[in-house]
Amino acid sequence: MIRLPGLIDPHVHLREPGATHKEDFDSGTAAALAGGFTAVLVMPNTQPPLTDEPSLKQAQAAAKSKARCDYGIFLGAGADNVATVSSLASQACGLKMYLDQTYGPLRLEGLAVLRDHIGNWPADRPVAVHAEGRSLAAALLIATLYERPLHVCHVSRKDEIALIRKTKEIGLPVTCEVTPHHLFLTEDDVPKLGAGRGEVRPRLATAADRDALWANLDVVDCFATDHAPHTRSEKDGEDPPPGFPGLETALGLLLTAVSEGRLTLDDLIIRSHTNPRRIFGLPEQHETFVEIDLDAVWEVRSSGMHTRCDWTPFEGMRLQGQVRRVTLRNKLAYADGEILVPPGYGKDLSSVTHQQIK
């Protein structure tokens, strides 16, 4: 048995408000605790998207009454909130910009709106982007010209990680994350998963892309699940939405890599605790830790999971290393399959951050 600090997942979709049949603050934060995460940063592509004060208040109220682990909430950059969203910056863990088509309506078209959002957002608050291929080059250039730090979500391809390495080499304040699914799956897994279940953005890439992520882990700041739950029937139906659940499998996958000597525990702690906390300016969670059985071998089964989506792309995989107990702010929050803290136990870390910054 070993102890890790409480893990932080900087990229999670909890679907509240608007699509709580997929997930809500209760089920999603239960899944987080079961996966060893004591804090999650949640994305704004909800229904409605979190782009203004009423929608942010709606998400804050749901989180306050339902979250079981700690959380921060991202605001979304839209075409219609360029002038207004920065007034809410102190209540959010960052601004999320979507430069490519994914799930939901929050895609930014054109250069001007991207420039204005980056220029208007407070320089000391994080900006995260979904930007693939040439969108990534555009986002990096604009952040550079406006001297803003930029966090690049779910880097998935060889040419993208090479571009980020180059950007870091010349000293620009760019950070990035990779997902377990891009580290452990490739496009060759799509036939086995089925076409609908295999849909995710960024798409599963080639084996060469996956290998490039592993080979460039030194420039990867964070692991992030991009937990994007859609129900099994939605994934198997007409017009399957893109996204994979990941909160309850990420740590097992990463610990398996540790057991195989492909990663060290320090590598994991830096990318799942130290760096997310630093990049998003999160306060320390006191008396918070995760107890792990490094020798336990287990088989991934969606049937025992806490997420509401009822499937996983890692079904049947044998993993080594399992979460036994999670203690959050001196309270036993999870033990051997059971969630032990009630909805409402989780705290909003965005506003605490703000108090510390002031």
Neighbours of 53 (CB within 10 A): 13
- By residue count, the chain amounts to 358
Give the one residue of 16, 160, 226, 291 binding Zn ion; rule: CB under 5 A: 226
Between residue 70 and residue 129, which ones bind ligand DOR under the rule CB under 6 A?
A: 102-103
Which span (109-117, 169-177, 240-248, 291-299) binds ligand DOR, by CB under 6 A? 240-248
Exposure letters 156-175 (e unless 16+ CB within 10 A, then b): bbbebbebbeebbeeebebb
Residue 273 binds which one of ligand DOR, Zn ion, none, with CB within 5 to 8 A depending on kind?
none
Strand duo 338-339 + 7-12: pairing: unpaired
Residue 261 to residues 32, 264, 305, 357, Cα–Cα distance (Å): 25, 7, 27, 39
Give the one residue of 20, 45, 135, 156 binding ligand DOR; rule: CB under 6 A: 45
Q: Examine residue 178 and tell whether it contacts ligand DOR (CB under 6 A).
A: no
Distance between CA atoms of 348 and 262, rounded to whole angstroms?
34
CB 219 within 8 A of CB 167: no
Q: Examine residue 242 and tell whether it contacts ligand DOR (CB under 6 A).
A: yes
In whole angstroms, how close is the CB of 103 to ligand DOR at the nearest point?
Answer: 4
In whole angstroms, how close is the CB of 74 to Zn ion at the nearest point?
Answer: 10
Q: Examine residue 271 and tell whether it contacts ligand DOR (CB under 6 A).
A: no
Distance between CA atoms of 77 and 99, rounded to whole angstroms?
10
Which CB sits closer to ligand DOR, 13 or 325?
13
# binding residues, Zn ion (CB under 5 A): 2
Residue 62 to residues 15, 41, 331, Cα–Cα distance (Å): 11, 15, 22
Between residue 156 and residue 175, which ones bind ligand DOR under the rule CB under 6 A?
A: none
Which span (70-78, 206-214, 237-245, 308-316) binds ligand DOR, by CB under 6 A? 237-245
Residue 48 binds which one of Zn ion, ligand DOR, none, with CB within 5 to 8 A depending on kind?
none
# binding residues, ligand DOR (CB under 6 A): 11
Distance between CA atoms of 84 and 283, rounded to whole angstroms?
26
Which span (140-148, 241-249, 263-271, 336-344) binds ligand DOR, by CB under 6 A? 241-249
Distance between CA atoms of 274 and 351, rounded to whole angstroms?
19
- The secondary structure of residue 311, as a DSSP letter, is -
Q: Examine residue 160 and tell whether it contacts Zn ion (CB under 5 A).
A: no
Closest to 249 (Cα-Cα) out of 190, 177, 176, 307: 307
Which span (78-86, 238-246, 321-329, 337-345) binds ligand DOR, by CB under 6 A? 238-246
Residue 103 binds which one of ligand DOR, Zn ion, none, with CB within 5 to 8 A depending on kind?
ligand DOR
Find residue 29's DSSP bridge partners.
none
Interaction site with ligand DOR (CB under 6 A): 13, 45, 102-103, 130, 200-201, 228, 241-243
Interaction site with Zn ion (CB under 5 A): 130, 226
